[in-house]
């Protein structure tokens, strides 16, 4: 505890220098938490959306992204199509298959945001989205179902409003809710004629046999179509999320490197000023480990306090950044998500800054000779 209090005394003694180091760490951790919260929110969104779907197999074009309907703007939206009603009917006759439906999706321009739209009839909606509540008895042409979050974002929640899509007006016949991000979708009855489907969703009697059913269907499908189980589909989306996480973490790492440089500069200046003090401590019996512990404690204090303040700052910046992304991309839903794991990661990064900042000072102190230190001014 003696080394801790000696380190604390030096931090307090050099207030201006310590404050500048705290600000550097605060900004670095704050930017890390704020930027990575967007990737965390995207991951939570995808996991929630796929978890609320009762879909066991996905048939998609090989060139399209394996992503839920429009997680950010038009991402996951593709013009590539596969099959038609005949292909869906053939898949519906496969053993263990309960239902197979073609699905198209689109994005419409709403009053305040882009509306993610899924084309499904009333029966298919209740089949593939079993948690949705408030579904009407039927869904006719010219009618649209709005998720609760989307209705609140666009109209403040009431039913009976009209949505203009091209030359047609769609009547909001019901507001549905199911929790999670499915509350930010619009559902529309598919047109009588189409040029194919962007995906075909399949529900199985026994999901444990999904891999075998996928292999069976894959054996006679054209080369440009692939079949993915729920697990495989989620794995594909996670690859996209990981790249998004790496991109945002890489941008945030610039601030972390600056913070490491600031911390190292502070510790070096403090070390050079106290070389005589360290030599005196060594002369009266303190070990190299004791003196080194003082430096480590000092660096960890600065980075730890900066990390806590940085996490709080990152939470505030995340809200501002999320609002900016929503406005710029016209999203109908919030994207950023602050999770306990993200805050833990932020604190670990701050501790890394503290350890890295103390490395060179530790080397100097460890190699110091007592007599050379006593001669220094």
Least confident of 90-99, 250-259, 272-281: 272-281
Which secondary-structure segment (H or E) carries 255? Answer: helix 230-273
User: Taking a C-beta distance cutoff of 8 angstroms, is the pair 333, 184 a contact?
Assistant: yes
Tell me: the pLDDT tens digits for 55-83? Answer: 999 998 887 777 765 545 444 556 677 87
Is residue 44's pLDDT more than 90?
no
Looking at residue 313, its pLDDT comes to 93
Q: Shortest CA distance to 43 belongs to which of 237, 334, 232?
A: 237
**Separation CA 162–CA 173 (nearest Å):** 9
**Cα first-last separation, the chain:** 28
Q: Return the sign of the alpha-carbon dihedral for residues 144, 147, 150, 152.
A: positive
Which of 48-57, 260-269, 322-331 has the lowest average pLDDT? 260-269
Tell me the mean pLDDT in the region 146-161: 77
Domain limits, the chain? 2-46+240-375, 53-230
Q: Is 316 helix (H, G, I), strand (E, B) or coil?
A: helix
Q: pTM, whole model, 2 decimals?
A: 0.78
Between 73 and 112, where is the model more confident? 112
Written as six digits, the tokens of 336 are 């950023």
Bridge partners, residue 60, by sequence? 226
Query: Which residues, in sequence order, are CB contacts of 9 under 8 Å at separation 6+?
Result: none
- The two structure tokens encoding residue 62: 């090989």
What are 291's two structure tokens? 């003196």
* C-alpha–C-alpha distance, residues 342 and 336, integer Å: 12
């Amino acid at each position: 505890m003696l080394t801790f209090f000696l380190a604390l005394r030096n931090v307090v003694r050099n207030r201006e220098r310590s404050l500048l180091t705290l600000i550097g760490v605060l900004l670095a951790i704050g930017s890390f938490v704020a930027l990575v919260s967007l990737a965390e929110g995207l991951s939570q969104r995808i996991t929630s959306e796929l978890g609320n779907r009762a879909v066991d197999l996905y048939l998609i074009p090989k060139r399209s992204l394996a992503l839920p309907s429009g997680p950010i703007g038009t991402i996951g939206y593709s013009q590539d199509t596969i099959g038609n009603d005949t292909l869906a009917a053939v898949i519906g006759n496969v053993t263990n298959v309960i239902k197979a439906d073609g699905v198209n999706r689109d994005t419409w321009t709403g009053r305040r945001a882009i509306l993610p739209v899924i084309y499904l009839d009333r029966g298919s909606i209740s089949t593939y989205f079993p948690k949705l509540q408030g579904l009407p008895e039927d869904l006719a042409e010219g009618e649209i179902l709005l998720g609760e979050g989307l209705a609140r974002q666009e109209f403040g929640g009431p039913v009976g409003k009209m949505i203009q899509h091209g030359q047609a007006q769609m009547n909001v016949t019901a507001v549905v809710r199911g929790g999670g991000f499915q509350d930010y979708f619009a559902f529309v009855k598919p047109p009588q004629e189409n040029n194919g489907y962007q995906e075909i969703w399949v529900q199985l009697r026994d999901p444990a046999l999904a891999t075998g059913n996928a292999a069976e269907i894959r054996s006679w499908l054209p080369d440009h179509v692939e079949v993915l189980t729920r697990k495989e589909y989620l794995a594909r989306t996670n690859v996209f999320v990981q790249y998004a996480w790496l991109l945002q973490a890489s941008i945030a790492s610039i601030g972390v490197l600056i913070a490491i440089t600031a911390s190292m500069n502070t510790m070096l200046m403090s070390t050079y000023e106290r070389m005589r003090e360290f030599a005196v401590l060594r002369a009266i019996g303190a070990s190299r480990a004791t003196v080194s512990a003082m430096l480590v404690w000092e660096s960890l204090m600065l980075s730890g306090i900066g990390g806590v303040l940085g996490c709080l700052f990152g939470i505030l910046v995340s809200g501002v950044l999320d609002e900016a992304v929503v406005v710029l991309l016209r999203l109908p839903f919030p994207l950023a998500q602050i999770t306990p794991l993200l805050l833990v990661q932020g604190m670990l990064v701050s501790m890394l800054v503290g350890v890295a900042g103390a490395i060179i000072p530790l080397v100097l102190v460890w190699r110091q000779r007592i007599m050379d230190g006593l001669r220094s001014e």
